[in-house]
């Protein structure tokens, strides 16, 4: 899904929003290089980052820095956490629909 232009960050805003200094810039480079975050756009000048990508990167950098986990482990951990959140929400919605059907 292409990020909505109104909501998307360009690369400058993405860097800035992550408060890039030397270490921050390196983290962002590694994350993009390894395909953990895939910005939309052919060249780096055109890259667009959705708000979800920014939140993901912020979370990933924090885990990497605080817990010293490698990027592969971080990707897996965040994917699993997101999956749990999604399943919980789906479960809650299905419970709601079921109760509408079964409650008299």
Partner 1 sequence: LSIFAGGGGAQAYGFSSCQDFGQRGQDIETELPIFLEDTLSLESKKLFYHFSHHDSAGRVTEMHKTLKVKILIGVVDGERIRLKDQGAPGLGKGASGDLYLRIRLAPHPLFDVEGYNLIITLPAAPWEAALGGKVTLPTLTSKIQLMVSSGSQSGQRLRVKGRGLSGKLGQGDLYAVLKIVMPASSSTSVKEQWQKLAELAPLRFPCRWSEAS
Applying CB under 8 A, which residues contact partner 1? 4, 6-9, 13, 16-24, 50-52, 54-55, 58, 61, 89, 93, 96-97, 100-101, 104
| In the complex, minimum distance from the CB of residue 72 to partner 1, in angstroms, rounded to a whole number | 23
Helices (H), the chain: 11-17, 22-33, 51-67, 71-102
- For residues 47 and 76, give the distance between their C-alpha atoms in angstroms, rounded to a whole number: 24
Cβ proximity to partner 1, 46 vs 93, nearer residue: 93
| In the complex, minimum distance from the CB of residue 6 to partner 1, in angstroms, rounded to a whole number | 7
Phi, psi of 28 (to 5 degrees): -60, -45
- For residues 55 and 25, give the distance between their C-alpha atoms in angstroms, rounded to a whole number: 16
Cβ proximity to partner 1, 55 vs 80, nearer residue: 55
């Amino acid at each position: 899904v292409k990020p909505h232009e109104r909501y998307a960050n360009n690369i400058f805003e993405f860097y800035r929003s992550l408060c890039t200094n030397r270490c921050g810039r390196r983290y962002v480079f590694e994350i993009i290089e390894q395909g953990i975050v895939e910005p939309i756009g052919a060249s780096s000048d055109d890259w667009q980052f959705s708000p979800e990508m920014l939140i993901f990167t912020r979370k990933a950098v924090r885990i990497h820095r605080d817990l010293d986990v490698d990027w592969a482990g971080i990707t897996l951990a965040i994917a699993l956490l997101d999956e749990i959140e999604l399943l919980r929400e789906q479960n809650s919605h299905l419970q709601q629909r079921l109760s509408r059907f079964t409650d008299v």
